[in-house]
Amino acid sequence: MIEVRKADWKDCKDLYELASKEEIRSASFHPEKIEFQDHENWLKKILKSENEIIYVLFIDNVFAGQLRFSLTNDFCTIGISLNEKARGKNLAVFLFNKAYVELRNNYKNIRQIKAFIKNENIRSQNYFKKLGFSFFKNTTINNCDAQEWIFDIGKVLL
């Protein structure tokens, strides 16, 4: 059984363990090690925020990944990560589609989703391309060469 729902406090440890994985840290624009207490403080702030939404993915009641939207005026940025067992099974597409429907239904002012991806992260570039995102421009984030990809709200999903 596959479940997608909004994150809550009980997901703290699972989210921390996923975010702490080496391959997740290396894809991040903030690759430094995360201390658990810092993660707890961050999650408390995120869960209270009206501008942040985290969805969690479970397969047979086992945590498999997360997707986060950070809302800003008429657009949002997206971040997604899956554990190694969930990769390559089209679950990231499933997670995005579920979260996108919620975003579209509940945040009518959002017109665009932006993904910022390190240049060397070809897997994520291919993932966002598969979802219908379009390359927009090259950019630099925290001294990392990156790409900005755009998804216009209203596109038909996979």
Q: How far is CA 103 from the centre of its chain?
A: 13
The answer to whether domain 2-152 has CATH 2.60.40.10 is no
For the chain, give the longest Cα–Cα distance: 41
| pLDDT tens string 34-71 | 899 999 999 999 999 999 999 999 999 999 999 999 99
pTM, entire model: 0.90
| pLDDT tens string 80-114 | 999 988 888 889 899 999 999 999 999 989 999 99
Q: Domains of the chain: which residue ranges?
A: 2-152
